[in-house]
Structure 1
Amino acid sequence: MNFRNKLGRFAAASLAFVLVLTLAFQTPFASKAEAASDALGVKAKSAILIDFNSGQILYEKNADKVYPPASMTKMMTEYLVMQALHSKKLTWDSKVSISDYVYQISQNREFSNVPLKKDYEYTVRELYEAMAIYSANGATIALAEKVGGTEKNFVDLMNKTAKKFGMTSAHYINSSGLENVDLGKFAPYGDNNASNKLSAHDLAKLAYHVIKDYPEALDISKIPLKSFTAGVDAPIQMVNWNYMLPGFGVNMNKFKYEGVDGLKTGHTDLAGYCFTGTVNRNGHRLISVVMGTGSDAQRFEQTRALFDYGYQQFTEKTIAKKNQLIKGQKAVPVHNGKKDAVKIAFGGSYKTAVANGEKVATDYKVVLDRSKLKNGKLEAPVKKGEKIGYVTLTQKGKSQYGYLYNTNNKIPVIAAEHVDRNNWFVRMFKGIGNFFASIFS
């Protein structure tokens, strides 16, 4: 064999070896949360687990894939009703009349419903409780019409709010989560085969905002059982579909999970059995979403597995306290102040979830508000506690998890002390000194 043939064979073998190595190392990098999905093996089409206080994503499986959310849709309706209450557009005692649409849907007991009367006015509270506890579809649509004027207008508001929350995959076509085939001629958007579409990631963001913006919503979502008495001949027992709530009887005790106080179940033939759950133990709150499980029981069993993982594999630790000086950060220069610089501190507390056995190691990156600076200095006077920027916290080492929002790990930066402004006489002499210094420098 001549030298050229030997060289050709050697080159071919080398190329094959390089290709093997390349393929071996082309496995996509998986985040910690994604890697956990293999170990947990959650039996759902998609799922996600969030540490509420830090916004960290502790677990995810197909979290950005879009599926029908069924009655988990109602979380957005709950949010917008709460928003209307807080803005004084509604009160809990505001009266709600019943349209033909609402009446017909509410009479169908194959759906989750309390039957509503056309000649009766209900309060917002009565309908909200029926929606949040019993997932009543007619009551939900009645509230949507009250807030939006029409359900179609309300759906537009749902989609606008979803966009504001960064729910990038969300597409609402009705307020209740029923499929259009069930709504028939009343469907506000879409054809007979259409349904709402959201991802587990979207629903986690929505749940985060419900809890963060209107925590009183949990006071209702955690009620296990309540009688509906408005406009009915005999009380209707509204059993909360969330069987993980403490307070249920013997038959549902097997699903009970201490600390659960919300948030919303969902089920249709198309969506399967779904659940957005939240649990709070000693201030450590988790949010989970499971979509497309195979049975009523399975959605709670898989949620239990996620909650157990969050509490057993992670510890919540405080790594920043309000008014605590930011370690290793230089004081910020002050112009025309009685002090030349001001120390900076955290403007709020911050907790993070740390995997067991791992140490907390954090980098601080301070970004000052440019609108407050002139030539790199703050203008005196500077008030103690005045917000002057923010700090981004980044965990070093193994505990690197994604965040629900990229602002979750940002904390306000404040002035740690008060710096008074120099009087005009001192400022004048400083100005003269600076002038001569610039000439002779």
Structure 2
Amino acid sequence: MRKTMKFGLVTVITLMIGTFLPVSNLTSTVSAAAATPEIEAEAAFILEPSTGKILMNQNGDKKLGIASMTKMISEYLIFEALEKGDIKWDQAVPISDYAQQLSQDNSLSNVPLRQDETYTFKELYQAMAIYSANAATVAMAEAVAGSEPEFVDMMREKVESWGIKDYDLYNSTGLSNSDLMGHMYPGSNENSENAMSARSIALVAQKLLKSYPEVLETTSIPKMTFKEGTSDFIEMDNWNWMLKGLVSERENVDGLKTGTTDFAGATFTGTAEENGMRIITVVMNATDGQKDLQKRFVETDKMMDWAFSNWEKVQVYKKNDRLDEIKPLEVEKGKTDNLKVVAASDMSLLVPVNTDLKDKEVTFTAKKKALNESKKVEAPIKKGAKLGTAEILVKGDDLGYINGDSGEKVEVIASEEVEKANVFVLAGRWIKVFVSDLF
């Protein structure tokens, strides 16, 4: 993040894999939420992370500059290295000549680093997450991967594993390459900039919060002193001005990452939880990056107001609830002829407030090899046996989910045990069918 002036311190049952047939499709419409607000930014996006439901998409698929929101990927890789045991919080981080020189650039967000001082991963991580400290980020990247370019290779591999394809990543910080004192990723130049879409950044934030929710313990800190008690101490005011006590304070905001460069403008990935529902918001290029830094928080506040007022998480099924919308499966060679299915777990949907949950389309997809060539389940069948998945879609929902699904999914299992019929019962059934066919 480039430092600018601060003013204080967002059924038919599907029987063959790959075929989808609706089992329930009622005709009433979804209760309309209040009109989606027009956000004064180049792109805006809202995601509910536990389900992956998209609540807003304003130009969210255009690739734009991400600036220091890049550091969410760096944070993920640092937490991953900690989880693997490759590094420890109290481990000393060596400061290279480059990291030391970069830390002295007062036009950038930085904490001063010296080569004759000891800095731990914990200290440098806090500086990165709270103050968007760039040289601290570079030092950690070098310590984790051996060099910043090798760390960038890890970043690229990680985002691609998440399904993100249209991106540009050249450094660990989100700074413009022109600020890197010539230390550029091979093949890049001074005009190379980190870029992604708002959708992709929301996905990055979702992955970070899902895998390492403890990130919020640090991103929610409004102020902290770096190297307190030393001559190098510096007061770190969080660049997320929506935190408690800061100029754009909003209750329940606890993250996540700002970013500001001339290329990206003023950007912000925010997150907050209200009434048991968390959302992730992304605002990109709310201003040109050099004026009205509060604008991205004003727009985020509008987005949060709208999302929390107009959307709610509603439980559709509890674990072991019968899915009446799915026709019982036919059983072959069993003591009973059909089998009802139930939900393997609780399942909730994100819907506009006052939505009639009878208005849903349920599609069942059988698990591979769950059905035989006759499109039946063969006995014996154990209670709780995994049979497939049900996708639930509320009519009128056209935004879908961050993973590309059109509806929320729940695993479907057998409601009861079905024993295999003995040879005499099977013979009797065969005779009955034979005689029926004759007449």
Query: TM-score w.r.t. structure 1 length?
Result: 0.82
Superposed displacement of residue 148, structure 1: 2.0
Q: Which runs of 5+ in 1 are unaligned?
A: 1-31
- Distance in 1, matches of 2:355 and 2:37, equals 20
Aligned residues: 398
Q: 2:274 aligns with which of 276, 281, 289?
A: 281
Counterpart for residue 26 of structure 2: none
Structure 2 CA distance for partners of 1:319 and 1:435, relative to 1, 3 Å: closer
1:97 aligns with 2:94: yes
Runs (4 or more) in structure 1 with deviation over 6 Å come to 434-440
Secondary structure of residue in 2 paired with 1:305: helix
Higher-Rg structure is 1
Distance 1:264 1:119 in 2: 30
Indicate whether 1:298 and 2:295 are aligned.
Answer: yes
1:123 matched residue in structure 2: 120
* Contact 1:347 1:411 survives alignment (8 Å): no
Give the deviation of 1:317 after TM superposition: 2.0
Matches within 5 A, 1:224-373: 224-229=222-227, 232-246=230-244, 248=245, 252-253=246-247, 255-294=248-287, 295-335=292-332, 339-356=336-353, 358-360=355-357, 361-373=359-371
How well do the aligned residues superpose, as a CA RMSD in angstroms? 2.7
Paired letter, 2:412: I
Q: Is the 8 A contact 1:120 1:231 kept in 2?
A: no
3-state DSSP of counterpart to 1:47: strand
What TM-score, normalized to structure 2?
0.82
Shift of 1:168: 3.1
Q: Deviations over 1:29-48 (max 9, x none)?
A: xxx9xx988x6231111111
More helix by share: 1
| Equivalent-residue separation in structure 2 for 1:383 and 1:213 (angstroms) | 33
8 Å CA contact retained: 1:53, 1:352: no
Whether the 8 Å contact between 1:348 and 1:411 is mirrored in structure 2 is no
2:89 partner amino acid: W
Find the residue that maps to 1:402 and give its secondary structure.
Answer: coil
* Correspondence for 1:414: 412
Amino acid at match of 1:262: G
Tell me the residue number matched to 1:58: 55
Q: 2:258 is matched by which residue type in structure 1? A: T
Q: In the alignment, which residue of structure 2 is the partner of 1:68?
A: 65
**Is the 2:228–2:234 contact (alpha carbons within 8 Å) kept by the matching residues of 1?**
no
Amino acid at match of 2:402: L
What amino acid does structure 1 have at the position aligned with 2:223? L
* Structure 1 counterpart of 2:243, one-letter code: L
Structure 1 CA distance, aligned partners of 2:174 and 2:276?
Answer: 31
Aligned counterpart, 2:148 = 151
- Corresponding residue for residue 107 of structure 2: 110
Q: 1:323 to 1:216 in 2, by over 3 A?
A: farther
| Distance change (3 Å), C-alpha of 1:436 and 1:123 | farther
The corresponding residue for 1:26 is none
How far 1:121 sits from its partner (Å)? 4.1
Shift of 1:59: 1.9
Contact 1:102/1:142 (8 A) holds in 2: yes
Q: Which residue of 2 aligns with 1:394?
A: 393
CA shift, 1:342, in A, is: 3.5
> Cα–Cα, structure 1 residues 339 and 118, in superposed 2: closer, same or farther, change >3 Å?
farther
CA distance in 1, matches of 2:120, 2:330: 57
Matched residue type, 1:274: T
Separation of aligned partners in 1, 2:102 and 2:386: 51
Matched, 1:196 2:194: yes
* 1:82 corresponds to 2:79: yes
Partner in structure 2 of residue 15 of structure 1: none
Of the three residues 9, 34, 46, the one matched with 1:49 is 46
Whether 1:211 aligns to 2:204 is no
1:323-382 per-position Cα deviation (integer Å, ceiling 9, x unaligned): 221122233344555555443222233333333454331111010102333333445554
Q: Distance in 2 between matches of 1:83 and 1:409?
A: 30
Checking the alignment, whether the CA contact within 8 Å between 1:315 and 1:354 is kept in structure 2 is yes
Q: How many angstroms does 1:197 deviate by? A: 1.1
Cα 1:337–1:219 shift into 2, 3 Å: farther
Check the 8 A contact 2:388/2:411 in 1, yes or no: yes
- Matched residue SS, 1:158: helix
Task: Decide which moves more: 48-57 or 364-373.
Answer: 48-57
